[in-house]
Amino acid sequence: MLSGGSAVKSGAAITAGATNESGVLVKNSGSLTLRNVAVSTTGKSPSSDDSSFYGLDAGVLAFSKGTITETGGSVTTTGDGANGVLGSNSITVTGSSLTGSVNRGVMI
């Protein structure tokens, strides 16, 4: 999680398996750049609405003026209702693979 400030992460694997846990979370005007990062989540929120509107179990999530730029890499979600990419501000995804068994893909 990045709350404010800025950061760059390259060539890493990020895994989140707990219920209601997102793989990448940026908020409070934070700015994160991901380069060739593999993000995977397996959690299953008990509420489809919470997944849809609040990003629980999302692979990549930005809100409260958070921004994410992802180049290359992948986002994989397998939890019921989990979004691959969810944002209320700015998320840019270029050349990345989005995969999910029961997810909603991209929601902005």
pLDDT in tens, 30-56: 999 999 999 999 888 888 788 877 888
Task: Assign 3-state DSSP to the chain and report helix, strand, coil percentages, each to 5.
Answer: 5, 45, 45
Q: Any idea where the domains of the chain sit in the sequence? A: 2-107
pLDDT in tens, 54-82: 888 889 999 899 999 999 999 998 887 78
Strand residues in the chain grouped as ranges (E): 2-3, 6-10, 13-16, 24-27, 31-35, 38-41, 60-62, 67-71, 74-77, 85-87, 90-94, 97-100, 106-107
**15 Cα distance to chain centroid:** 11
Assign 68 to helix, strand or coil.
strand
pTM of the entire structure?
Answer: 0.86
